[in-house]
Amino acid sequence: MSSKYLSHQGATIHYTINGKGMPVVLLHGFAADGSIWDNQLPFLKENYMVIIPDIPGSGKSTSLNKEIISMNDYASCIKAIIEVEKIKKFVLIGHSMGGDISRCLIFKNIQQM
């Protein structure tokens, strides 16, 4: 497992990368962190490169340096991870608030990649 950090919008974003293959990004919901995916990871990492961020303000990630934070701000953080890792194609799975972030990433941010 590779544990990484990225600075974005005044926050330090923590994420892990496990396995090899087609990238799969797993986004957790509100009041959780990336560890919510611990039970799925052993299976997925056998065939995929699994990227699991701690959304800003959760887990090992610090909060964004903004008074009002939108789903687009969170999506921007995920986009930054994708860009740093030089990923062009990936599967995106979001749980609860992670689904809302996924929707923003797909419809607003990813078009600018």
Q: What is the pLDDT of residues 13-65, one digit of tens each?
A: 999 999 999 999 999 999 999 999 999 999 999 999 999 999 999 999 999 99
Contact present, 84 and 54 (Cβ < 8 Å): no
DSSP-assigned beta bridge partners for residue 93: 26
* pLDDT tens digits, one per residue of 68-109: 999 999 999 999 999 999 999 999 999 999 999 999 998 865
The dihedral of CA 28, 110, 60, 5: what is its sign?
positive
Q: Which CATH class is domain 2-112?
A: alpha beta
Helix axes 71-84, 97-104, angle to 10 degrees: 70
Identify which has the larger pLDDT, 1 or 18: 18
